[in-house]
């Protein structure tokens, strides 16, 4: 009985075809690592999870910085102290406490009624503490360079680690022991790389320049 043998070139050809099919299949699967459920929701798998894991705290699609309140009745009680301002405005930037005049390091806002205090940009709650003089203090980190401080709050409904969007309510105005003109205050400060910024200038800043 004659035994038939495959010719020498047949097995290598089969191997090459098999490897090619596996390789092409892997490319097609890798290019479509996405599943769409019956409700239309898309879920990304490992590829996107690895590349999208790191996200900045601040999202620069917000093209404008807002003030830390929306109530039209809120007004300025004390301005940020600027050594280059006219003397009249510098006088409006001094806080008198226990027989001592202090240069204001932020903007002190007041109103006749309680008002909502809102986040000026996207960020994350870095710290919340209560001070006997300044009331409740909330610090929001917007990225590794920029933080905003909201002081003299009366009520806060957030906790450390919470993420906030621009315009989200942080809490409500309260009182402090620095200026007893009204129980509805907000002392607002901004730090960039550890340095204080004038809030009036901060509101007008270009976001790209601020965060880069």
| Tens of pLDDT, residues 79-125 | 999 888 888 888 888 888 888 888 899 999 999 999 999 999 999 99
Statement: residue 174 has pLDDT above 60: yes
Cα 142 to Cα 145: distance, rounded to the nearest angstrom: 8
Per-residue pLDDT reduced to its tens digit, 36-81: 444 444 433 333 333 344 445 666 555 789 999 999 999 999 999 9
* Sole residue written with tokens 């090619």: 20
- CA atoms of 195 and 178, how far apart (whole Å): 22
pTM metric for this prediction: 0.70
Q: What is the pLDDT of residue 131?
A: 94
The DSSP secondary-structure symbol of 48 reads H
Instruction: Say whether pLDDT at 23 is over 60.
Output: no
Tell me phi and psi for residue 43, to 5 degrees: -125, 125
pLDDT of residue 60: 52
């Amino acid at each position: 009985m004659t035994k038939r043998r495959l010719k020498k070139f047949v097995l290598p050809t089969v191997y090459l075809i098999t490897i090619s099919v596996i390789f092409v299949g892997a490319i097609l699967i890798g290019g479509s690592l996405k599943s769409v459920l019956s409700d239309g929701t898309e879920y990304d798998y490992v590829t996107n999870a690895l590349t999208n894991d790191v996200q900045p705290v601040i999202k620069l699609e917000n093209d404008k910085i807002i003030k830390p309140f929306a109530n039209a009745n809120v007004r300025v009680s004390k301005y940020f102290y600027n050594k280059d301002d006219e003397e009249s405005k510098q006088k409006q930037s001094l806080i008198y406490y226990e027989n001592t005049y202090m240069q204001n390091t932020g903007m002190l806002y007041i109103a006749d009624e309680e008002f909502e205090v809102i986040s000026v940009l996207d960020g994350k709650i870095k710290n919340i503490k209560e001070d006997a003089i300044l009331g409740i203090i909330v610090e929001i980190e917007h990225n590794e360079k920029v933080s905003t401080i909201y002081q003299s709050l009366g009520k806060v409904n957030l906790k450390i680690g919470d993420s906030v969007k621009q315009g989200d309510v942080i809490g409500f105005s309260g009182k402090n022991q620095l200026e007893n003109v009204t129980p509805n205050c907000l002392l607002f400060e901004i730090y960039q790389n550890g340095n204080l910024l004038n809030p009036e200038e901060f509101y007008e800043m270009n976001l790209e320049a601020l965060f880069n």
